[in-house]
Each structure stands twice: as C-alpha cells, then as structure tokens.
Amino acid sequence: MTFNKITGFIFLLILFFTAACSNNKDYKGKKVSVLKTAEGYQILRNGKPFLIKGASGGYYFEELKSAGANTVRLYDTLALKQKLDLADSLGLAVIVDIPLQIKNMNYIDPDAIVWISEFVNTYKNHPALLSWMLGNEVYFPQLLSNIVTLKFNNILDEIHRLDPNHPVSTAVSTGAVKEILAIKLKSPNIDFISINVFGRINDFKSIKQLLFLWQGPYLLSEWGNNGPWESNTTTWQASLEQTSTKKAEEFRNRYINVIDKIDDGRLLGSLAFYWGQKQETTHTWFSLFDEQGLKSQVVHELKNVWSVKEDNYKGPEIKKLLLNKKEGWHNMVFTPNDILKGDVFLGDEEGNYEFQWQILPEKWFKSSYDEVNFNQDELIVNEEGTSVLFKCPEIEGPYRLHYKITNETGYFATANIPFYSMNKIK
C-alpha cells in the first residue's frame, strides 16, 4: 500500500469515528434514542438499554404486562391519553402509530400536517411514549418519483423538530424491496425501519437480503402465524386457517428458532400480532383474545418465551376439524339443504368445558356479514361437544363451519373449515 493510500485510509477512519462520535453526542439528554455502538444498534430509554419485547394491538394491557412484555404498539389513536396512562401505570412503553393513507399520499395537505403537528405536540411528553410509527406499510411507488417521499420527509422532519426526544420509524412488509430502497435513498432521517413479517419469518435468509438494502437498525413490528395471503386456498379462494393450537406451536417455534437467535446487532426487538380481537378474513385468524377477553393458547406460549418459563398449558386444544370426514383442502361443495356433519378432535380435555358451533358466510369478498341474511339456528339439526349436524344454507355462496371451546382456565381454542353451497343446475 502506497503512502497516499495509507493517508487516505487513515483520513477515512478519522471521518468515520468523528461522525460516530458526533452522532452519539446528538443523543445525549434524549429520553429515547437509537444509538450505534461497537456491538451494533440499541435503544436507550432514559439512559438505559431497552429491547422491545411485546405485541401490536391495543387492548388487555394488564395481560400483556403479566405475560412478561414491556411494549405495546397502538394503531388506534382513539382514547390515546387513557391508554398511555394505563400503559405507564403498568410500566409498558408505547409505540404510537400516526396513520397515513397506504396507496396515495397526495391527500397530505397543510391541514393534515397541522393535525399531525398538533397530535405530536399533545403526546410527545407522555412518559409511556417510546417512539412514533409514521404510517403502516406506506406505499413508495417509484424510486425516481419525489412527490411521495417529499411529503413523507416533510412530515418526518416536522416530527423530529417538534419532538427530538423520541425516534420515528415506518413499517414495511417483507416484500417491500422498492420501499426499502426508497427509504434508504430518500428518507435517510428515519431512525429505524419496522418490518411486518409473518410466514416469511421461517425463511429469514430472504429477510436478511431485504435488510442488506437497509444496513441500519430495524424492528419486527408484526410477527405471528401465516397470514391469509400466505395460506393454501380452496378453488373459490377461501384461505385455509390453522387451528389455534397449531398457531400456538408456530408462535413458539418462530420465537425460539428465529427471533431469539438473531444476533446481527441491528434488531431492536419484536412485536407479536394481534394483541386483541380482529376481523381479517375471519374473526379468529389473528385474534389472540376473543370478544369476551378469553385468551388463545398463543398468549400462553408468548408468556413462556418472553419469561423464559416452561409452564404447562391447561386450556383446551383442537387437533383438527373435519366436515363430512374431510379437511378444507378437499374443496367441499354441497347443495342447499344437504345434511352435513362436522367433527372436531380435541386434546386431552378434562373438567367442564363449553362449546359453540357456528355457520357463517365467508367474509373475504363482502364488507359485512349482514349482506347475507340467514338464521343460523334454523340450520342446526343437532349439536354436541365434538360433533354437529346442520343443513347446508339455501343462499348460494361460500361459508365456514366454526368451532370454539372454552374451559375454566380462561383460555379458548378455535378451528374452522370452508365449504361452498351451490344450487343445482336446472
């Protein structure tokens, strides 16, 4: 190596360490910051290292805290003050979403920026606040287009100006290659990126390729069981949902075998999805709680992995659900008023339990169940704890047979199977 090359190399090292030191200096005195160290990136909260361990949702804070979590991500800004106060009383940190339209940010006018500014000013000093999430899977359409990124950056810079004490992130999906590149090249002031990852978490190598484009700190902002878009479907495009028991197994395995083993020095933590009750394809697909506040087995498994415990699960379990002795992938089509039989196979249930059979119209292509008008009670011929006889609905279309079981433990288990009612050709 020549003298000039050695001199240039030393100069680059000086620039690197000067920049690193100046970055670290900028973080001094901040309530929350993302700091780069020799070991990698970490969050400092009130001067102490903080690893995000929690869930995305917005309900059941007490249960989240007792499960061993330290953070909740809130999508819904309604009653935000009360939620922040409750989280603070429990010692939970909060990531607050600032909603942005997903596919067209041209609506962001001065009035919208004024609203965001007022929103940030209102809550920026709350002790529970950990960071801001500026949009969930915001669409950055073209790398060469400046319209969206300019508006996004204007809001980002305004949040940083109003609240220098809390970092700002934005959430992308695992398929968002263009978005990652756009953020890296055009929004360098973002403090870290957040990735919503579900089934692809099993192939973390592909996520590493995505993260290679970023090279900065990141958060797994949504992780859990496979989404409907990742699942096998029937010929009429009804996604096949796993039993809640299988989902619990997946949550546990994905945390232990993937998340807990990430040692790239860039992961800021992870948030399980969805801490509450949510309708998406079905009312059970992502819901870790039911309408009455009962818990899924997933909650039990999360408590085990978060708290590094091995407590035995005592709630109900479902091995499989069959319809006319077949599984969902058989693409079952029946004619109206056919008598159908559902059978569920449970785990080793002991003690008293309650069960519920439901026949519901498919929701993936309708805005409301009310668009299909039928009386379920008229369909049920006979129901027992592990079997049901019912008539195929008269209205043509896709449906699901749902089963739910609960016991005195406060946990529930669910399963469903899709089928189609088709009128005979005259």
Which regions of 112-188 does DSSP assign to beta strands (E)?
129-136, 168-173
Contact 345/386 with Cβ under 8 angstroms? yes
On the question of a cis peptide bond just before residue 274, with omega within 30 degrees of 0, the verdict is yes
- Residue 221 CA, chain-centre distance (Å), reads 6
Where residue 109 falls among pLDDT bands split at 50, 70, 90? low
Q: Is the pLDDT of residue 153 over 90?
A: no
Q: What does the pLDDT read at residue 8?
A: 41
Overall pTM surpassing 0.85 (yes/no): yes
Q: What does the pLDDT read at residue 19?
A: 37
**What's the burial of 206, exposed, middle or buried (CB within 10 Å: 0-12/13-18/19+)?**
middle
CA angle 24, 172, 123 (to 5 degrees): 60
Q: What does the pLDDT read at residue 425?
A: 67
CA angle 31, 36, 40 (to 5 degrees): 125
Q: What does the pLDDT read at residue 24?
A: 41
Q: Is the pLDDT of residue 224 over 90?
A: yes
Q: Is the pLDDT of residue 242 over 50?
A: yes
DSSP count for the chain of H helices, then E strands: 9, 20
Q: What does the pLDDT read at residue 112?
A: 74
Q: What does the pLDDT read at residue 28?
A: 44
Domains contained in the chain, CATH given: 23-307 (3.20.20.80), 318-421 (2.60.40)
User: Which of 246, 295, 263 has its CA nearest to residue 57?
Assistant: 295
Q: What does the pLDDT read at residue 349?
A: 67
Where residue 144 falls among pLDDT bands split at 50, 70, 90? low
How many Cβ atoms are within 10 Å of 152's Cβ, its own excluded? 23
Q: Is the pLDDT of residue 13 over 90?
A: no
Q: What does the pLDDT read at residue 273?
A: 98
For residue range 338-397, list pLDDT tens digits in order.
Answer: 999 999 999 876 668 899 999 999 876 554 444 555 677 889 999 998 999 999 999 899
Q: What does the pLDDT read at residue 138?
A: 78
Residue located via tokens 């008598």:
339
- Strand pairing class (48-50; 52-57): unpaired
User: What CA–CA distance (Å, rounded) separates 166 from 127?
Assistant: 11
Mean pLDDT of 106-111: 58
Q: Is the pLDDT of residue 10 over 50?
A: no
Where residue 157 falls among pLDDT bands split at 50, 70, 90? very high
Of 22-31, 138-147, 250-259, 367-376, minimum mean pLDDT range:
22-31
Residue located via tokens 């047979």:
401
User: Which of 214, 145, 151, 148 has its CA nearest to residue 181?
Assistant: 214
Output the CA torsion sign for 275, 196, 256, 49. Answer: negative
Mean pLDDT of 202-206: 78
User: Which of 136, 158, 215, 205 has its CA nearest to residue 181?
Assistant: 215
User: What CA–CA distance (Å, rounded) separates 210 from 191?
Assistant: 17
Of 46-60, 145-159, 197-211, 362-376, minimum mean pLDDT range:
362-376
